[in-house]
Every structure is written in structure tokens, then in C-alpha cells.
């Protein structure tokens, strides 16, 4: 099984005629994802080069193709409207890849999408993949393999690295979810951990966090209080110089609350295996997923 996406996913690509949208639409189609429609205002009635119909609006695309999921590749100034348009069209899952969406925009988008019963993943994320079933976003399919490990990560590139190590070690994945590192995102660690805990095919979970904020500490409490499945964690930024502003917009350290040391201590208190390097995740998963 998998979480959030599977063989029944019917995907709309918002921004399918743009540079990024067209490139990744072809990648998703080649992987086997059911891409049923594209949306680019003003280009309705045309077809994407693989034959996928293009519509002017998301509501038109959903009505004509019975789509249930969308992935968004539009420039930051238009991403908020794209997410809200998708929610208005009744889509149950909205994945926004766009980087640089203003935080102020997300203060409007998050409650708007939630009120309409949709799940938002992102923005500024690599999306998700259920190996052998469906891929929504930009995670390379060739590094993944079907198996019993769930993965959730704030970091896109570390998602790829850890998945690659797992696959090479024969530890396939049920679903890999990149939630993004922005201060406001639609789906957090706890949402994913809860989904993996409920998924009978997932036997162990890998959680990749970063310095900044307290999401990892909140997730560790959830693991300690709720989860029965083993969870292995890794925190990026362990060697970051004190006081240095790092990478993601969410990587803001306030006192000791967002430091790597504080997050690692929370993981250890929750009984999680903690990796010092990304490759160490493999041995920890093997030890705990027996």
C-alpha cells in the first residue's frame, strides 16, 4: 500500500506548458502516473505533446477528466491563486512544487485549502512518490523501489540521498514525502507519521529534519506518545556555525529551540534511532525493522 497517492491517482498538472511543468509532466507520465489533464490559462483546447488535454481552468479539467490530484508548477506570484483554485475545484490532494511563495500568501492559502477539505503538500517541496505506483512532483523515480519503509523529509536533496541509500541496501519504500522547508506548509511531519502508522504495508519510518523551528520536537513527542512502528531520524545542519542563518526560510533558530542538538535530544528521548550521517539511516532501519 501507500499514503496519499496510489494507482487510483488521476493527476492535473497546473503550468504544464511551462519549462518546469512540461519537463516534469513527461517524467511523471514515463513513470506511469495517470496524468489526465494540464492547465494553462489561454491554452484550453490544445494538447500536451503526449496527448494530454489542456484546459483553461482547473474546474474544467476536473469536470472533464475526474481528476483527484494536482501538482503546481507556476511562478511564485501566481502560486497562491493556483492552490486556491485547485481547492475550489474539489481536488483532494494539492502538491505545490513552487519555491519562493511569499509567507504572507501562505497565511491565506493554508486556512482556505483546509476549510475545503483538501490536503496540501508544499509549497517549496519535491512532492511525493509511491514507488512502482505513482509519482507526483520531482523525486527521481529511478532511485526508488517498492518496499516497506516510509519516508518524510523537510529537505529535497536529502530525500534523494537517503532514498538512494535505502534502495541500494534493498530497503524499498511505501511512499516518500517531501513536505518542504518553508515556515508555513500544508502537511507536516505529524500528518505523515500518522498516515504511515495507519498504513499496514509500512513497517518502519525515516524522518529527515533540519535545524530551525520546533516541528521535529513536536513530531518526536507524537512518536513517543502514539507510534508503535520504529522511527529513525536524521537532522541536517549538525555542523552549522552558531548564529549563522542557513538555507530554508524555515531554518530560524531561536535560543536553543531550533538547534540540531535540541532536536537530536528530542529524538533520543522518543526512543528513535538517530543517524549521524545520511548513510547511517540504512543500518538503523535494518536494526529496528526486524
CATH code of the domain in which 159 resides? 3.40.50.261
Say if 271 falls within a structural domain. Answer: yes
Kindly give the confidence (pLDDT) of every residue in the chain, 290 residues in length, as a single tens digit, with 9 standing for 90 and above.
689 999 999 999 999 999 999 999 999 999 999 999 999 999 999 999 889 999 999 999 999 999 999 999 999 999 999 999 999 999 999 999 999 999 999 999 999 999 999 999 999 999 999 999 999 999 999 999 999 999 999 988 999 999 999 999 999 999 999 999 899 999 999 999 999 999 999 999 999 999 888 899 999 999 999 999 999 999 987 766 665 555 554 555 555 567 889 999 999 999 999 999 999 999 999 998 76
Is residue 206 classed as helix, strand or coil in its secondary structure?
A: strand
Q: Does residue 61 sit in the same domain as residue 153? A: no
User: Residue 254's pLDDT is what?
Assistant: 52
Q: Does residue 143 sit in the same domain as residue 115? A: no
User: How large is the C-alpha radius of gyration of the chain?
Assistant: 19
- Check if the beta carbon of residue 67 is closer than 8 Å to that of residue 11: yes
Contacts of residue 192, defined as CB under 8 A and 6 or more positions apart, other chains included, come to 3, 150, 152, 177, 179
Cis status of the peptide bond prior to 276, with omega within 30 of 0: no
- Say how far apart CA 30 and CA 230 lie, in whole Å: 34
Q: Does residue 69 sit in the same domain as residue 102? A: yes
Q: Does residue 147 sit in the same domain as residue 267? A: yes
Backbone angles phi, psi at 210, to 5 degrees: -140, 165
User: Residue 151's pLDDT is what?
Assistant: 98
Q: Does residue 91 sit in the same domain as residue 176? A: no
User: Residue 238's pLDDT is what?
Assistant: 74
Q: Does residue 153 sit in the same domain as residue 257? A: yes
Q: Does residue 178 sit in the same domain as residue 282? A: yes
Q: Does residue 233 sit in the same domain as residue 164? A: yes
Q: Does residue 168 sit in the same domain as residue 267? A: yes
Q: Does residue 36 sit in the same domain as residue 92? A: yes
Q: Which of 63, 90, 121 is the last residue of a domain?
A: 121
Q: How many CA atoms lie within 13 A of 240 on its CB side?
A: 20
* CATH value at residue 79: 3.40.50.720
Q: Does residue 174 sit in the same domain as residue 263? A: yes
Task: Report the catalytic residues.
Answer: 248
pTM score, whole prediction: 0.94
Q: Which domain holds residue 247?
A: 139-288
- Check if the beta carbon of residue 37 is closer than 8 Å to that of residue 54: yes
Say if 4 falls within a structural domain. Answer: no
**Number of domains making up the chain:** 2
For residue 71, what are the β-bridge partners? 13, 95
Q: Does residue 198 sit in the same domain as residue 93? A: no
- Say how far apart CA 273 and CA 148 lie, in whole Å: 17
Say if 23 falls within a structural domain. Answer: yes
Amino acid at each position: 500500500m501507500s499514503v496519499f497517492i496510489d494507482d487510483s491517482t488521476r493527476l492535473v498538472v497546473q503550468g504544464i506548458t511551462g519549462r518546469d511543468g512540461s519537463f516534469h509532466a513527461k517524467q511523471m507520465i514515463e513513470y506511469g502516473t495517470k496524468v489526465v489533464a494540464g492547465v494553462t490559462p489561454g491554452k484550453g483546447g490544445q494538447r500536451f505533446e503526449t496527448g494530454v488535454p489542456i484546459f483553461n481552468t482547473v474546474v474544467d479539467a476536473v469536470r472533464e477528466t475526474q481528476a483527484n490530484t494536482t501538482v503546481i508548477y507556476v511562478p511564485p506570484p501566481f502560486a497562491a491563486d493556483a492552490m486556491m483554485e485547485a481547492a475550489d475545484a474539489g481536488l483532494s490532494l494539492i502538491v505545490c512544487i513552487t519555491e519562493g511563495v511569499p509567507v504572507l500568501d501562505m497565511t491565506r492559502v493554508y486556512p482556505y485549502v483546509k476549510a475545503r477539505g483538501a490536503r496540501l503538500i508544499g509549497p517549496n517541496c519535491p512532492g511525493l512518490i509511491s514507488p512502482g505506483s505513482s509519482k507526483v512532483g520531482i523525486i527521481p523515480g529511478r532511485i526508488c523501489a517498492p518496499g516497506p519503509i516510509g519516508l518524510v523529509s523537510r529537505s529535497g536533496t536529502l530525500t534523494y540521498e537517503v532514498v538512494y541509500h535505502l534502495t541500494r541496501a534493498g530497503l524499498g519504500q511505501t511512499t516518500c514525502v517531501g513536505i518542504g522547508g518553508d515556515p508555513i506548509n500544508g502537511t507536516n511531519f505529524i500528518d505523515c507519521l500518522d498516515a504511515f502508522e495507519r498504513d499496514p504495508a509500512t513497517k518502519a519510518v525515516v524522518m529527515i529534519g533540519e535545524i530551525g523551528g520546533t516541528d521535529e520536537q513536536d513530531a518526536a513527542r507524537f512518536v513517543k506518545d502514539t507510534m508503535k512502528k520504529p522511527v529513525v531520524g536524521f537532522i541536517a545542519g549538525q555542523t552549522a556555525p552558531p548564529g549563522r542563518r542557513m538555507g530554508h526560510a524555515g531554518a530560524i533558530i531561536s535560543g536553543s529551540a531550533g538547534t540540531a542538538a535540541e532536536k537530536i535530544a528530542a529524538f533520543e528521548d522518543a526512543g528513535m534511532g538517530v543517524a549521524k550521517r545520511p548513510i547511517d539511516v540504512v543500518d538503523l532501519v535494518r536494526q529496528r525493522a526486524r
